[in-house]
Amino acid sequence: MSYDRNAVPSAFSGLRLLPWETEPGKPCFLSTDGTHGLLSRLADELEADQLRDGAHVLTGARAVLDDRKAGEFALRHALRATTQVLGDVLRVADSRGARLAQPDDDDGDDDVDKGGGDRS
């Protein structure tokens, strides 16, 4: 499985991007009413596994990079594993980011410093 951010529609409002894809490599989405049904829980578990795998691969890749004697095979293997888990982590980030509540344009303007004024 390889995640391509450009293949996923930028606006998939109301749909959850799932951490797996179809046989031909198309993204899968889930429409829910906000409840955590079986597929949502399964997706949550797979995302957690993918994030754990990412941390594990990162540790291994750092070890290979720190080993001055690491050969081409070890470097290629580490890079291949790293790119795979990076795709998984980006998919998780995009899925979770799309499910965050979007702030209203009117809310939060008080916290923005528009510059130009002295606050003393």
For residue 20, pLDDT over 80 is answered with yes
Mean local confidence (pLDDT), 32-52: 90
Domain boundaries, the chain: 5-99
Determine whether 26 is exposed, middle or buried from the number of CB atoms within 10 Å of its CB (0-12, 13-18, 19+).
exposed
Instruction: Report strand pairing: 27-31 vs 15-21.
Output: antiparallel
Q: Distance (Å, rounded) from C-alpha 95 to C-alpha 48?
A: 13
What pLDDT is recorded for position 119? 46
What's the pLDDT tens digit per position in 89-110?
999 998 888 887 667 655 555 5
Q: In degrees, to the nearest 5, what angle opens at C-alpha 77 toward C-alphas 74 and 83?
A: 140
